[in-house]
Amino acid sequence: MRRIIRRKKSGYALGFLLCIGGLLLLAAILWKAWPAVSASDDVFSALTSYLWTEQFGFGFGAELKLMHLTWIGSAAFALGILVLAFSRQVFSVYAGENVVLQCSYCRNNWKASRGKGLAECPHCHQFVEPRVVKTK
Binding site for Zn ion (CB under 5 A): 103, 105-106, 121, 123-124
Task: Work out how close the CB of 2 gets to Zn ion at its nearest, in angstroms, rounded to a whole number.
Answer: 23
Task: Work out how close the CB of 116 gets to Zn ion at its nearest, in angstroms, rounded to a whole number.
Answer: 14
Task: Work out how close the CB of 102 gets to Zn ion at its nearest, in angstroms, rounded to a whole number.
Answer: 9
Beta carbon nearer to Zn ion, 74 or 109: 109
Beta carbon nearer to Zn ion, 85 or 124: 124
Contact criterion met (CB below 8 Å) for 14 and 86:
no
Which residues are CB-contacts of 97 (< 8 A; sequence separation ≥ 6)?
Answer: 113, 114, 115
Task: Work out how close the CB of 100 gets to Zn ion at its nearest, in angstroms, rounded to a whole number.
Answer: 14
Beta carbon nearer to Zn ion, 9 or 134: 134
Beta carbon nearer to Zn ion, 42 or 129: 129
